[in-house]
Amino acid sequence: MMPNQPNRPNPDEPATIEEIEVMPAGHAPSDSGTRSDPLARAALESRPKVRYGDGAVIACDGLVRIYKLADLEVVALQGLDLVVEGGEMIAIVGASGSGKSTLLAILGGMDVPSAGRAVVAGYDLGRMSNTERTRFRRRVVGFVWQQTGRNLLPYLSAAENVELPMILDGRDDRRRRALELLDLVGLADRASHTPDRLSGGEQQRVAIAVALANDPSVVLADEPTGELDSATSADVFGLLRGINKALGTTIIIVTHDAFVSEQVQRTVAIRDGRTSTETVRRTEISHEGHHRVISEEYAVLDRAGRLQLPRAHVESLELRNRVRLRLEDDHVGIWPDRGDADAPEEKR
């Protein structure tokens, strides 16, 4: 965050935080009148603050998370920016320790940012009351962890595990919905099995059904296929894709699996607590009628104009400390600083 930048360019900023905070049309005028009426206020609060497809469902702006240990500070996120549109399915990749799980924990309302902002489906995650936080975790997000054992209670059947979030949220008609969800994940015939009678892949399918129980806007999955063999992992990933298409649920999946990250429309790479590159894929149809996936890698430019150069570029030109920049008609050139002899002006 750079709060004191007088001439930060504004007009072209992506639709993000500011817009998300605005309640959908129709809410605002009646708000003031109902503020004193607890029932009306409760009804208002339980309404989704952003409708599906209303632009970005997730917006992180300069997100910072610092862990304070005894006499040490670990900066897990250092000014991370990320915008995810409703209905997107994206992969997040990055070396171990780069901040992926920290980001997901914040987006899931399980952890709070030290600075910066994260807004998910209209909820400002740094400013929620405890009541709002509980409601957010139950209704707005679903979580799937890598460890199969962390997703399910061992003494409950598959159906009971799926019912549990609905019980906590006071929903009716739970059993019917639990069975429907188990059917959706291909496990209708395992409803009465406890997790120890299910394979790892089946347990993750049940975990996905649990995550979907209260019809969340966003499913966050932290290496959900990390403990599965590649065939099972492809199945579970296919299921997530199917759910994203069929239900329009926004899905964020942290993964090390190249197979997974290559099959989503967008892969965001995190390096040292910041988004560094994004790979965007689209399908083109060739003259012969064949589908072909075009994949393009972009560096992420943050709102303050910073970008991370890919490590390979930095190494191949031995860029360090400072570089020369030059604005051309349609691009910006970067040169290593090797004294005046190599200055870009003289290359021309």
174 binds, among Mg ion, ligand ADP, none (CB under 5 to 8 A by kind): none
Q: Which is nearer to ligand ADP, 86 or 109 (CB)?
A: 109
93 alpha carbon, distance to own chain's centre: 11
Cβ proximity to ligand ADP: between 80 and 140 the closer is 80
From residue 43 to residue 82, the character string flagging contacts with ligand ADP as x (rule: CB under 6 A) and all else as - is: ------------------------x-x----x-x------
Instruction: Indicate the Cα dihedral angle 154, 158, 160, 163, nearest 10°.
Output: 120
Let me know how long the chain is.
348
Smallest gap, in angstroms, from Cβ of residue 95 to Mg ion?
A: 10
Minimum distance, C-beta of residue 162 to ligand ADP, in the bound complex (Å) = 27
How many Å apart are CA 316 and CA 289, to the nearest integer?
A: 39
Contact 109, 125 (CB under 8 A): yes
Q: How far apart are the first and last CA of the chain?
A: 37
What's 183-231 look like in SS3? HHCCCHHHCCCCHHHCCHHHHHHHHHHHHHCCCCCEEEEECCCCCCCHH
Number of residues that bind ligand ADP (CB under 6 A): 12
Binding at 286: pick from ligand ADP, Mg ion, none (beta carbon under 5-8 Å per type):
none
Contact between 150 and ligand ADP per CB under 6 A: no
Closest CA to 143 of 219, 43, 53: 219
Sequence-separated (6 or more) residues with CB below 8 Å from residue 15: 55, 56, 83
| Interactions with ligand ADP, residue window 89-128 (CB under 6 A) | 94, 96-102
The partner in contact with residue 109, picked from Mg ion, ligand ADP, none with C-beta cut-offs of 5 to 8 angstroms by kind, is none
Is 97 or 242 the residue whose CB approaches ligand ADP more closely? 97
**List of residues contacting Mg ion (CB under 5 A):** 101
**List of residues contacting ligand ADP (CB under 6 A):** 67, 69, 74, 76, 94, 96-102
